[in-house]
Amino acid sequence: MDCEERKVKTFIMKSKLETLVTQIRQCDICLNPLKGKPLPHKPRPVLQVSTTAKLAICGQAPGTKVHASGRPFTDRSGDRLRQWTGLSNEQFYDASRVCVIPMGFCFPGQTTKGADLPPRPECRATWHDQLMSNLPQLELILVVGRYAMDYHLQLSSKCSLQEIVSDYQTYLSAKTKPAFLPLPHPSWRNTNWLKKNPWFESDYVPKLRKRVAAILKKQ
């Protein structure tokens, strides 16, 4: 493929992705779902993608602070996730280098006890296969939380979070493209899990940072 053909292909890929992202940002299917209750507030899809980023962070769904800001991980979970990955704010929010793709693009609302509801299933069914197929350049996907693991890793539902994350050496040594690295959700609700599993921060996190830094150096 010569230089001109490469430019044309790049332009077409970028245009397709931009059109898809525009459709996602205008999406309101969860206001009139085929099943279940409608979204209790106006949709505000949150994602960050490009045709150049080689790293993707695929999590669950925006929380209240992210819904208010319109930017992914602008909360304590984001602070912890950036600490785990070694990414600065500038790197994290550089769409040309990092994609952020939650399983539910909109804040799903909360239970009567104040806990966040699961990601809306309409997002996964309507958009995710299309979106991921338009990101062939990705080399590493950080799979954050169980909902993202169920989609990206396609593991048995019998596998526990503990079993999946503790098998990180298998994922680190895998030669697939993109490669996947599973992470627990960085929510404060998982603080006890982190205390019970000190190997995560002492052993896994340094290797995670090294892999992330290696991916960013390619750009």
Sort residue 183 into left (φ over 0), alpha (ψ -120 to 50) or beta: beta
Distance (Å, whole) CA 58 – CA 141 = 7
The domain tally of the chain equals: 1
pTM of the model as a whole: 0.94
Residue 99's closest CA among 87, 112, 111, 107? 87
For the chain, what is the mean pLDDT?
93
The SS3 assignment for 123 reads helix
pLDDT at 158: 80
Q: What digits encode the pLDDT tens for the residues 56-97?
A: 999 999 999 999 999 999 999 999 999 999 999 999 999 999
Tokens of 41: 């507030």
Compute CA 211 distance to the chain's CA centroid, rounded to the nearest angstrom: 17
CATH number of the domain bearing residue 95: 3.40.470.10
Tokens of 24: 């996602």
The least confident of 57-66, 97-106, 152-161, 174-183 is: 152-161
pLDDT at 213: 97
Over residues 22-30, the mean pLDDT reads 95
Domain enclosing residue 191, as ranges: 3-217
pLDDT at 115: 85
